[in-house]
Chains A and B, each alone.
Chain A
Amino acid sequence: MSDKKPISSVNDFVVRFANVNGSGSASANEMFARAILRHGVPVSPRNIFPSNIQGLPTWYEVRVTEAGHLGARGGVDMMVAMNPQTWDKDVAGIEPGGYLFYDSTKPMPSTKFRDDITVIGVPLTAITNSTYTDPRQRQLFKNIIYLGALSALLDMDPKLIEQLIGEQYKGKEKLLSSNVHALHLGRDWALQNLKCPIGLRVKKSDKVGDRIFIEGNSAAALGAVYGGATVCAWYPITPSSSVAEAFTAHCKKYRHDPETGKAKYAIVQGEDELASIGIVIGASWNGARAFTATSGPGISLMTEFIGLSYFAEIPAVIMNIQRAGPSTGMPTRTQQCDIIACAYASHGDTKHVLLFPEDPAEAFEFAAAAFDLAERLQTTIFLMLDLDIGMNHRLSRPLKWDDAKQYDRGKIMTAEMLEEGRDFGRYLDVDGDGIPYRTYPGTHPTKGSYFTRGTSRDRYARYSEEGTVYADNMQRLVRKFETAQDLVPRPLQANAERPTKYGVIYFGSTSPAMDEAIGLLEARGHQLDRLRIRAFPFHSSVASFLAEHDFVYVVEQNRDSQLRQLIVNENGIDPVRLVPIVHYDGTPITARFIAKAIGDHQDHLKVTPLRKAVS
């Protein structure tokens, strides 16, 4: 019997499903999350999955959050324990007063439970086996049956779930009705045999609004479609493969000529990441908008080509869906650990533009913008996503597009301009912004051709090993990078209510956890100004923000506080004033973590002088 009062909460709790991968649970679990959304209650779901196809443990966590906190919360209020393999750990992970939902077909020894939680047993296997004979059906419908039982326990409206089933199996009447039947099998059993609802409840609300539920990788891929990408070359790697797969799906829908049926795009699955980036660079050199999607190990392989893109000034877009490194690392766990690797990728003196979207909506916008930036700056643009944004469904503001927008194809010297007698030097800085003109191959019979090379050359692209010529070019590249500062998305600043000497810098997927942490910190009496960095090179407002605060926390998801290193390095500031707050165990950063880490540091800074304390 519980010696702790059961948790009671409406629209604010965490349910975690523990499953075996390959058991078909993913779609039922996702339906659970979607059903809560249909109640008008925001959710933030996360897949925690192994680098494996069948048989290993997998978890799906749904944070139900009327307040709209989309970061991971930490802790579990209700565990749907469907995996005997992870039972002990799963049961141990439940918050005191929480709930354990399990398949009670086989009796479990009492030692397998806890006294401070509510245990809810539903004989899922027994119900399933008495209804279905086909083994695959038994497995799949078991998932829908527990969904039905949960709907009763959490006081959910079954009509909303039926509606979802209806949408999913539109046109497949047999599947539709059998899924609805399974849903009610579970729901009815719970209503007849259990006390429903429990302390955790879903109540209809209106907090979802017009937001959409989408994975960052799909949004980024659609951004590439809208941004005019015509060539995509990629090599499968978790967690980035779904970018190319989504791009393929979007293109099939939106990029076929209605008359001829022909494709206005080309997608090549390369033999490796070297070929993928090579294809991107060849296509971009020839005037197409091209991109690749990869993750850390792929970036390592691509670095020679990235240096070529920098030095020979060829546009390229690389979407890096970051995962925990180094080496193979934790392929299915999230991190922001390739900041330095991308910012300075390749041998020699190089610097690259990085974009840090915070969510799917920005992933869409920045992906489209990346192609304008790549062609304007004639260099590689990294879109720095991570597994947390890329592979999880996220409640996001709707995607927006301005139909008046034209692509910025950058400085292209055309046949007409050449005919007019314009001086064409491929590496000639005519406008003082460090960006030269380029010609597409095949432009003009006698003018404008040049030889592209990774070796040094003069302003007219003629091979040269002269020191002054080399240095002149390297200096121009610095000027170009300075130009980039004002072209990339600017940092967004949000100030605390009261003036404060303390600031916090964060970026990318840390965003929702940071927003929530600010509230927790304010409750503890800590005021912080916030700066969300959205791109590298850093805009001058980053330096101003640093100058305006005594201490600035830099919150990031890697061990070595890589963004902090980059800020210190690029701004030449005293590192002591930049306090690293790092979370790098592969799980998404939480508000609780940030608030504790910053709060503890703040408390430490505000130590009351001894004399004052004793007086």
Chain B
Amino acid sequence: MTYIAKPKFHHPGLKKNELGYTHRDYEGKISTLCAGCGHDSITASIIEACYELSIEPHRVAKISGIGCSSKTPDYFLGNSHGFNSVHGRMPSVLTGANLANRDLIYLGVSGDGDSASIGFGQFAHSIRRGVNMTYIVENNGVYGLTKGQFSATADRGSKSKKGVTNTDNPIDLVAIALQLGATFVARSFSGDKSQLVPLIAAAIGHKGASFIDVISPCIAFNNHAGSTKSFDYVREHNDAVNRLDVLVGRDPIAVDYAPGTVQVVEQHDGSRIALRKIDADYDPHDRLGAMTFLQKHAAKGQIVTGLLYVDPDAEDMHEHLNTVETPLNSLEADSLCPGSAVLDKFNASLR
């Protein structure tokens, strides 16, 4: 066998969520990525977020492109349908899937090669269309599966493992997502699960195009001195603007926050995000402000993380298209086919 199944047994005392599922019910197959890969931490964060939100695993469709990151949907939510599609084309496949059934949760998993190079166009257009999805880029600045070529998110001046200096300008997917009208934009770090888990949970609760850029160091090809996507570099330059707590249901805000330090965002699905401000002046509802803030900090070599922008009243693609509430994939001939009487009239109009 060339795949590895995960044993199903677990400790009987394992905690259960509202639906009675344990953590293990959100896991997938055993990861075949390198030991210590940042992507595995993101996988763990996705599992954690889905567990905490008490999502029924089979109501999630997880869709990816090609690359190390795109392999990861096999490693979480084993009871969900997954689709490891074509390099750079996750966004279109996800868009189509979403059109077919608006009732599922769509998780798009991609990498920096997949989204910033070969699939840059599809990334852009899925955001533009406001597809209701959580689009996660596991961003390591390098092509891992083909052994260490620079990707389009590699910073200018950063060094490859072989010592080559990158002379091309980087693409900042967060900046692009903001410019293209994404209604939930965040950046995080695979090494900071406490920030990442609530971001993923909040993104899933958001109705519209949610984009999370997760810096995820490549342990094999991009974790050396001179890299700007290494664990050490990201830890040193991480500038978090806020931290999140996602509050499910109508529970009162139980955590004590110092007055004026918390901003509560009501989400479309009834959940709420409590944003604990780190940068007191940062306003996550100001798209233009966010864009400027990012550019200024990028110029200083800082990696801004946190929930950078959210529009809680966003509309999604189905609203733009005015589609029926019933998923299109469940409509049958009785409601789709106009029938022979209409056809007779149509014929008559063409004589």
Contacts and interface: CB of A to CB of B under 8 A. Distances in A.
B350 interface: yes
B325 interface: yes
B316 to A, nearest CB: 12
A278 B61 CA distance: 16
A465 interface: yes
Interface in A67-83: none
Contacts of A262: 322-325
A198 interface: no
B339 A283 contact: no
B81 A450 contact: yes
B336 interface: yes
Interface string B92-119: 1111111111011000000000000000
Given A439-B81, A441-B101, A463-B2, A264 B328 contact: yes
A262 B95 CA distance: 19
Contacts of A304: 86
B331 interface: yes
A466 B340 CA distance: 52
Nearest to B103: A442
A27 to B, nearest CB: 16
Contacts of B59: 442
B56 to A, nearest CB: 6
B86 A282 contact: no
A285 B82 CA distance: 10
A268 B95 contact: yes
A233 interface: yes
Contact of B101 (A225, A287, A449, A450): A287
A176 interface: no
A288 B92 contact: no
A257 B99 CA distance: 17
Contact of A451 (B74, B318, B331): B74
B78 interface: yes
B81 A449 contact: yes
Contacts of A281: 85, 93, 96
B338 A278 contact: no
Among B122, B124, B129, the most chain A Cβ lie within 10 Å of the Cβ of B122
Contacts of B344: 398
Contact of B336 (A261, A264, A278, A402): A264
Given A268-B95, A441-B80, A402 B321 contact: no
A442 B340 contact: no
Interface string A192-215: 000000000000000010111110
Nearest to B95: A279
B122 A288 contact: no
A399 B101 contact: no
Contact of A284 (B58, B92, B96, B330): B96
A445 interface: yes
Given A230-B336, A399-B346, A403-B340, A441 B81 contact: yes
A38 B3 CA distance: 69
B104 to A, nearest CB: 5
A305 B86 contact: yes
Interface in A5-30: none
Contact of A278 (B73, B93, B129, B346): B93
A401 B323 CA distance: 26
Given A399-B346, A442-B59, A255 B340 contact: no
Interface stretch (A380-388, A452-460, A572-580, A600-608): A452-460
A328 interface: no
A470 B95 CA distance: 30
Given A275-B125, A286-B101, A287-B101, A442 B58 contact: yes
Nearest to B105: A442
A455 B66 CA distance: 10
Interface in B208-227: none
A285 B331 contact: no
B335 A283 contact: no
B146 interface: no
B351 interface: yes
Contacts of B57: 445
Interface in A424-466: 439-446, 449-455, 462-466
A319 to B, nearest CB: 17
Contacts of B84: 451-455
Contact of B324 (A213, A263, A275, A443): A263
Name, among B63, B89, B92, B335, the residue most crowded by chain A CB atoms within 10 Å (CB to CB). Answer: B92
B18 interface: no
B83 interface: yes
A440 B324 contact: no
B86 A454 contact: yes
Nearest to A396: B350
A161 B21 CA distance: 74
A367 interface: no
Contact of B89 (A266, A274, A284, A455): A274
B254 interface: no
Interface in B300-326: 318, 321-325
B346 to A, nearest CB: 7
A225 B329 contact: no
B81 A271 contact: no
A150 to B, nearest CB: 22
B343 interface: yes
Contacts of A403: 339-340
21 contacts: A37-B351, A210-B347, A228-B337, A260-B324, A262-B325, A266-B323, A275-B121, A275-B122, A278-B86, A282-B63, A283-B96, A285-B96, A286-B96, A287-B100, A305-B89, A308-B85, A407-B332, A444-B58, A454-B84, A463-B2, A464-B1
6 closest Cβ contacts across the A-B interface? A282-B96, A278-B92, A288-B100, A441-B81, A287-B329, A279-B96
Given A228-B332, A403-B339, A453-B84, 20 more contacts: A222-B346, A230-B99, A230-B328, A231-B100, A260-B324, A263-B321, A263-B322, A265-B323, A266-B318, A266-B323, A271-B121, A278-B91, A278-B92, A286-B329, A287-B100, A290-B100, A442-B58, A442-B81, A445-B58, A464-B2
Interface of A: 37, 208, 210-214, 222, 225-226, 228, 230-231, 233, 254-255, 257, 260-268, 270-272, 274-288, 290, 304-305, 308, 398-403, 405-407, 439-446, 449-455, 462-466
